[in-house]
């Protein structure tokens, strides 16, 4: 162990990226990396840091409260001037052998900040419970490339962008009168830093990369020196005059005649517009050589569809269109903005004025991309956000844009934006997004308007019954009558949609959608002959694998379908034209349709000649989470068809899994609970049966414990309590399933008996799911807790590789398609093969085959591993380095809801926090718990309130996404600022139709609004004994509290009985005296309701 003193305001840093560069490797064998070279590289890195001049930016890695679902975020927490760089730290009493292999230096150096004199820290901790304020001060870097590998040197150009964003945040903190620091002084200090950084950046931060592109490396040292000592414009002119052969030599640059010929040959090969870009435009921007190469030579590979002339005239196009290959390959608005409007102190001219339309357009595109789920935003909302940001910039970069600017510059803005005015309100789309919606709409309307499909051979009811009936089903054997009734309903659905050119097959989890897909394929072959072509498609590789297994037919991902036909760029973005169109497939079936986003589906539609297609069938569960990307295509499609073409929707209502469990006594709790969160529109009156069911489930859930044989609810108070209950519950379940008993010394033996019985990976046997990545209840922390519980022995004896040890449960987090496969050992063929591994595949890590004879040695530590994935059981996939593991794998004891989508697990443990609600929605909770096939444990923080909150209609994600597929659906403006007014139970005057459950309740709510009677809707009312009911309305009127129950299903006997029980509860606990009852027998009677309001409240 090595100890040393750190002064106050110090951190330990290390340039890990430098340690793993190719030039660090030993070329002559021995250890993989050369310790001498590594030490020199580290010392060179720290030698660049200048005390009392250089700056340090502090950030958190992905494990922070602001990383959510599939969005990993670096978050900047502060910055400072560097006061002191610590000395090299070396090991004490290190053996010569160890020093030769690994070097003498400890991998850390102290950096002391000049804080608080020159520095700042953002007070996130003070606003964690105020999401509206937190969102405005959250600093997620626009370009994450600068915040990788723990410590990285960033350019002056990047630092300017960071300081400008800090100025915005500091300005906001001043506005809200935050007192954690003297923000006025901090603001002045940041402004002074900008002047320093602009001098370091100069006018042409991209000049060296331009020279590198021309292979004119001999000029780079010269340019570096000259740019610091001469007028930078003169240096640029001099260099390009030589390149153009206007001059024959430059004093100070030694280059051979042959080299000059090659440089000038490369220059002459460029077209005039490319030469203009390279010499006059691109040097202004801090671009990488590979980016310049793509811009000039292969623009389509970076999704640049504007020509070179357009880019030269308006370089903002680069940040509007450019899409890179990886996080290191991005071009941000700030990068381009700094080159177009440089500091006037540098003497260069701006290309555009700060208020020109080119800048406005780029800002609008940037703002629209910042909220990718929406297909459009209100123009006034966009302008407000743009102007707020610009107001914090230096005077020479400020501008204020108005609706009039949009109006007068619409022709130019419309090259990248689409304008749409509805009911006097202007909305803006990114043009490609608008075109994607119209592409989808056009194809679907065309298919829907076609005549029913003619069949060559009839498919009769008896055929459907034979396709659907499974004599081996436990239901068919034990409960034939109930099974036949369920099959009859499935036959009706199949007959309804089979001849429709466009149809949707939908239903909640467990209704048998995949079984019907298999039957439809058989019917296609029967009706049109075995040669009839069809294609099964899914949004993810994991979903395609499951579809293939269950149908026995070939299933592919949409991405592989598009890539095969040339519609996918190298950066995995979609081409808008130029790919091959599929003309031979006549039936397409799209599974897991709720995961389809707008660009993916639009590109698929462009890739098919629909004149040759007979039928398109969407299959999915409309209650699941919408896609991570743009829009909510599946939900919009179902809404349109239900309203206009309801015969095209085959809705499965009989839940086969629930039926089996109910009849066989296995419990129906999972699906009973899930049914409380199913998506429903505003109904005429609430269903009596459903209301009774809801109250029943709530009462059982409130008690906690075993709700049914397949459902358990546990309540936790602290995160320590959560960890303890989670581990104890998982262990007890595993002991029951495996028949094994936990050995406290080696708990991994019990885990392995469940996850890898008989050395066969079954990682889907146990799964923890959390809505969050950060926090102590998020997947990052829970994975660490469970890894430590299961694999302490392996961690202590064999170590970690990229956060993973042997026999960990892991998940692949990036796609490795045919174009970028992984190597794997095939135990059946005895050979290494390249295979595809998809994002979301789960497996178990294992000792690498090369180490099977040496891993038991005392000083052996993990340096490579293999993974057996559940759907690739004859393969052991290779990960041969720390980088390979960290870039591909994560621990998977706990995964996010999005990662779980499309998967099934035997036992699910779903963590539901109470006090952090930003991501929680009905769809998210429904998706998470319905992943469980056999048993689900829901671990709820504190009390039942999170379960009740998620039942509310306003907690639906779908209600908060702007879309205009088939129907223009803007999110109500009041929903956009819910943080400023929302209290659970409070109904906004304009949002009644979005927040209550029935039209009758909406009418009552509106009558109360009209009379200015304050009320709450559907809030909890607790009795003294701890039991609760939820009155429809709770009214506070002149010091008294009234409860209003509207009974709408009085013809239903079960409902009437439940009503009597509810009224008895009100009487028992003393609430009946202030109870208002209204009834609905033959429709809603507004006169009666008005009369009651007049009688009770006098208005």
Task: Report the C-alpha gap between 68 and 770 in whole angstroms.
Answer: 10
CATH of 983-1097, one of 2.60.40, 1.10.3470, 1.20.1110, 3.40.1350: 3.40.1350
pLDDT in tens, 749-767: 999 999 999 888 899 999 9
3-state secondary structure of 1015: strand
- Terminal CA-to-CA distance of the chain, rounded, Å? 79
User: Are 925 and 950 spatial neighbours (Cβ–Cβ below 8 Å)?
Assistant: yes
DSSP letters, 245-301, are: TSSS--TT----HHHHHHHHHHHHTS-HHHHHIIIIIGGGS---HHHHHHHHH-GGG
Task: Report the C-alpha gap between 441 and 458 in whole angstroms.
Answer: 31
pLDDT in tens, 848-877: 999 999 999 988 999 999 999 988 889 999
Specify the pLDDT at position 800.
95
Helix ranges restricted to H, 529-655: 541-551, 558-564, 598-606, 633-644
Q: How many residues does the chain have?
A: 1099
Specify the pLDDT at position 143.
82
Task: Report the C-alpha gap between 817 and 556 in whole angstroms.
Answer: 12
CA distances from 135 to 50, 75, 127, 140, 918 (A): 34, 12, 9, 10, 11
Specify the pLDDT at position 630.
95
Task: Report the C-alpha gap between 41 and 660 in whole angstroms.
Answer: 65
pLDDT in tens, 987-1046: 544 455 556 777 788 888 888 887 888 888 888 888 888 788 888 899 989 889 999 998
Specify the higher pLDDT residue, 885 or 818.
885
Specify the pLDDT at position 198.
96
3-state secondary structure of 489: helix
Task: Report the C-alpha gap between 127 and 172 in whole angstroms.
Answer: 13
CA distances from 542 to 555, 591, 625, 823, 888 (A): 11, 11, 17, 19, 16
Task: Report the C-alpha gap between 300 and 249 in whole angstroms.
Answer: 36
Give the model's confidence band at 687: pLDDT under 50 very low, under 70 low, under 90 confident, else very high: low
> Hey, how many other C-beta atoms are within 10 angstroms of the C-beta on 270?
17
Q: Tell me which of 48-52, 150-154, 1053-1057 is least confident.
A: 1053-1057
Give the model's confidence band at 436: pLDDT under 50 very low, under 70 low, under 90 confident, else very high: very high
Specify the pLDDT at position 1020.
82
Task: Report the C-alpha gap between 947 and 925 in whole angstroms.
Answer: 9
Give the model's confidence band at 684: pLDDT under 50 very low, under 70 low, under 90 confident, else very high: very low
Specify the pLDDT at position 639.
94
Stated pTM of the model:
0.85
User: Are 266 and 215 spatial neighbours (Cβ–Cβ below 8 Å)?
Assistant: yes
Give the model's confidence band at 685: pLDDT under 50 very low, under 70 low, under 90 confident, else very high: very low
3-state secondary structure of 555: strand
**Predicted confidence (pLDDT) at residue 980 exceeds the cutoff of 50:** no
Average pLDDT over residues 163-184: 95
DSSP 8-state assignment for residue 998: B
**Predicted confidence (pLDDT) at residue 742 exceeds the cutoff of 70:** yes
Question: For residue 879, what is the enclosing H or E element?
Answer: strand 875-879
Output the six-digit token pair for 980. Answer: 């400023």
**Topology given in CATH for the domain delimited by 450-672:** Rossmann fold (3.40.50)
Average pLDDT over residues 522-545: 89
Q: Which residues pair with 943 in a beta bridge?
A: none
DSSP 8-state assignment for residue 592: S
pLDDT in tens, 717-739: 999 999 999 999 999 999 999 99
Average pLDDT over residues 1053-1071: 86
Specify the pLDDT at position 815.
86
Specify the pLDDT at position 391.
93
Average of per-residue pLDDT values in the chain: 91
Average pLDDT over residues 325-343: 93
Average pLDDT over residues 699-717: 93
> Hey, how many other C-beta atoms are within 10 angstroms of the C-beta on 423?
6
pLDDT in tens, 455-499: 999 999 999 999 999 888 888 888 888 889 999 999 999 999 999
Q: Name the pairing type of β-strands 766-770 and 894-896.
A: parallel
Task: Report the C-alpha gap between 498 and 459 in whole angstroms.
Answer: 9
Q: Tell me which of 725-734, 1009-1018, 1048-1057, 1087-1096 is least confident.
A: 1048-1057
Question: For residue 811, what is the enclosing H or E element?
Answer: strand 809-812
Task: Report the C-alpha gap between 707 and 704 in whole angstroms.
Answer: 7
Beta strands in 53-93 (DSSP E): 55-60, 75-85
From the list 449, 453, 463, the residue with the least C-alpha distance to 528 is 453
User: Are 73 and 62 spatial neighbours (Cβ–Cβ below 8 Å)?
Assistant: yes
Q: Domain boundaries in the chain?
A: 10-198, 207-433, 450-672, 983-1097
pLDDT in tens, 285-307: 999 999 999 999 999 889 999 99
3-state secondary structure of 129: coil
- Tokens 């991501």 locate to 919
> Hey, how many other C-beta atoms are within 10 angstroms of the C-beta on 718?
11
Q: Which residues pair with 81 in a beta bridge?
A: 55
**Predicted confidence (pLDDT) at residue 981 exceeds the cutoff of 70:** no
Helix ranges restricted to H, 513-592: 513-528, 541-551, 558-564
What number of CA atoms fall less than 13 Å from residue 515's CA on the CB side?
A: 22
């Amino acid at each position: 162990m090595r100890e040393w003193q750190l002064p106050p305001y110090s951190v330990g840093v290390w340039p890990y990226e430098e340690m793993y560069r190719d030039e660090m490797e030993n070329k002559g064998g021995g250890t993989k990396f050369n310790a001498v070279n590594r030490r020199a590289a580290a010392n060179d890195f720290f030698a660049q840091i200048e005390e009392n001049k250089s700056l340090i930016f502090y950030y958190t890695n992905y494990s922070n409260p602001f990383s959510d679902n599939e969005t990993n975020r670096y978050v900047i927490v502060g910055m400072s001037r560097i006061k002191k760089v610590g000395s090299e730290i070396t090991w004490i009493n290190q053996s010569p052998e160890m020093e030769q292999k690994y070097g003498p230096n400890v991998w850390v150096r102290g950096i002391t900040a000049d804080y608080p004199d020159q520095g700042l820290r953002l007070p996130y901790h003070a606003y964690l419970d105020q999401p509206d304020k937190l969102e405005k001060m959250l600093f997620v870097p626009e370009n994450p490339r600068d915040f990788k590998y723990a410590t990285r040197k960033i350019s002056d150009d990047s630092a300017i962008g960071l300081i400008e964003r800090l100025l915005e945040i500091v300005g906001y903190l001043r506005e809200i009168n935050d007192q954690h620091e003297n923000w006025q002084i901090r603001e002045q200090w940041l402004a002074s830093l900008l002047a320093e950084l602009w001098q370091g950046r100069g006018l042409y931060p991209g000049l060296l990369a331009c020279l590198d592109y021309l292979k004119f490396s001999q000029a780079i040292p010269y340019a570096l020196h000259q740019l610091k000592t001469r007028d930078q414009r003169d240096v640029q002119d001099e260099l390009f005059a030589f390149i153009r052969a206007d001059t024959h030599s430059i004093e100070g640059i030694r280059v051979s005649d042959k080299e000059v010929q090659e440089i000038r040959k490369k220059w002459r090969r460029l077209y005039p517009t490319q030469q203009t870009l390279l010499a006059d435009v691109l040097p202004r921007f801090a671009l990488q050589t590979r980016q310049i190469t793509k811009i000039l030579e292969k623009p389509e590979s970076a999704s640049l569809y504007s020509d070179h002339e357009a880019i030269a005239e308006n370089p903002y196009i680069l940040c509007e269109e450019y899409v890179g290959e990886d996080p290191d390959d991005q071009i941000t608005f700030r990068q381009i903005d700094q080159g177009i409007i440089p500091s006037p102190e540098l003497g260069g001219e701006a290309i555009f004025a700060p208020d020109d339309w080119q800048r406005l357009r780029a800002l609008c595109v940037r703002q629209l991309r910042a909220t990718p789920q929406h297909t459009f935003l209100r123009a006034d909302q966009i302008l407000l956000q743009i102007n707020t940001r610009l107001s914090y910039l230096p005077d020479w970069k400020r501008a204020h844009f108005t609706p009039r600017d949009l109006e007068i510059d619409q022709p130019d803005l419309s090259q990248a934006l689409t304008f749409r005015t509805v009911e006097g309100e202007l909305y803006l789309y990114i043009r490609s997004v608008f075109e994607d919606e119209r592409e989808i709409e056009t194809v679907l309307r065309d298919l829907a308007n076609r005549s029913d499909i003619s069949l060559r051979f009839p498919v009769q009811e008896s055929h459907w019954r034979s396709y659907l009936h499974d004599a081996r089903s436990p239901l068919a054997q034990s409960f034939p009558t109930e099974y036949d009734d369920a099959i009859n309903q499935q036959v009706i659905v199949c007959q309804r949609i089979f001849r429709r050119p466009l149809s949707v097959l939908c239903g909640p989890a467990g209704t048998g959608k995949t079984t019907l897909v298999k039957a439809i394929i058989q019917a296609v072959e029967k009706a049109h002959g075995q040669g009839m072509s069809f294609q099964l498609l899914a949004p993810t590789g994991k979903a395609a694998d499951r579809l293939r297994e269950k149908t026995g037919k070939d299933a592919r991902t949409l991405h592989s379908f598009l890539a095969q036909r040339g519609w996918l760029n190298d950066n995995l973005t979609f081409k808008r034209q130029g790919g091959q169109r599929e003309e031979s497939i006549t039936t397409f079936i799209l599974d897991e349709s709720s995961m389809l986003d707008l660009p993916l589906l639009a590109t698929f539609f462009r890739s098919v000649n629909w004149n040759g297609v007979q039928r398109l069938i969407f299959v999915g569960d409309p209650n699941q989470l919408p896609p991570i990307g743009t829009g909510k295509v599946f939900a919009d499609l179902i809404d349109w068809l239900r309203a206009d073409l309801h015969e095209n929707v085959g809705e499965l209502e009989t839940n086969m899994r629930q039926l089996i469990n109910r009849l066989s006594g296995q419990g129906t709790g999972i699906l009973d609970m899930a049914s409380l969160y199913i998506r429903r529109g505003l109904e005429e009156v609430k269903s009596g049966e459903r209301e009774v069911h809801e109250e029943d489930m709530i009462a059982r859930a409130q008690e906690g414990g075993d709700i049914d044989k397949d459902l358990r609810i546990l309540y936790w108070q602290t995160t320590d309590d959560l960890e303890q209950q989670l581990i104890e519950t998982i262990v007890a379940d595993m002991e029951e399933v495996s028949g094994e008993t936990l050995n406290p010394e080696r708990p991994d033996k019990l885990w392995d008996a469940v996850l890898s019985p008989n050395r066969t990976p079954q990682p889907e046997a146990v799964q923890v799911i959390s809505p969050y990545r950060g926090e102590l209840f998020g997947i990052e922390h829970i994975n660490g807790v469970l890894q430590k519980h299961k694999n302490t022995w392996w961690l202590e004896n064999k170590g970690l590789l990229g956060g993973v040890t042997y026999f960990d449960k892991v998940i692949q987090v990036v796609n490795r398609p045919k174009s970028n496969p992984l190597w794997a050992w095939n135990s059946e063929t005895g050979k290494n093969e390249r295979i595809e591994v998809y994002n979301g595949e789960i497996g178990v890590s294992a000792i690498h085959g090369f180490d099977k004879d040496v891993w038991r040695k005392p000083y052996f530590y993990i340096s490579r591993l293999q993974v057996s994935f559940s759907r690739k059981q004859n393969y052991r996939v290779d990960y041969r380095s720390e980088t390979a593991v960290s870039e591909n794998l994560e621990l998977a004891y706990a995964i996010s809801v999005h990662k779980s989508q499309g998967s099934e697990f035997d036992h699910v443990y779903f963590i539901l926090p109470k006090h952090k609600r930003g991501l929680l929605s009905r769809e998210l909770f429904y998706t998470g718990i319905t992943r469980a096939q056999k048993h689900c444990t829901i671990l709820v923080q504190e009390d039942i309130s999170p379960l009740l909150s998620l039942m509310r209609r306003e907690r639906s994600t779908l209600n908060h996404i702007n879309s205009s597929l088939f129907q223009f659906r803007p999110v109500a403006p009041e929903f956009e600022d819910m943080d400023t007014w929302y209290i659970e139970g409070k109904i906004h005057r304009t949002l009644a139709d979005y927040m209550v459950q029935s039209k009758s309740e909406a009418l009552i709510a509106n009558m109360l609004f009209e009379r200015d009677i304050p009320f709450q809707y559907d809030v909890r009312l607790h009795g003294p004994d701890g039991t609760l009911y939820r009155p429809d309305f709770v009214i506070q009127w002149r010091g008294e509290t009234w409860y209003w129950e509207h009974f709408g299903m009085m013809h239903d006997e079960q409902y009437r009985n439940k009503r009597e029980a509810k009224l008895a509860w009100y009487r028992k606990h003393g609430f009946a005296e202030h109870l208002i009852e209204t009834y609905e027998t033959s429709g809603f009677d507004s006169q009666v309701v008005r009369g009651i309001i007049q009688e009770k409240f006098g208005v």
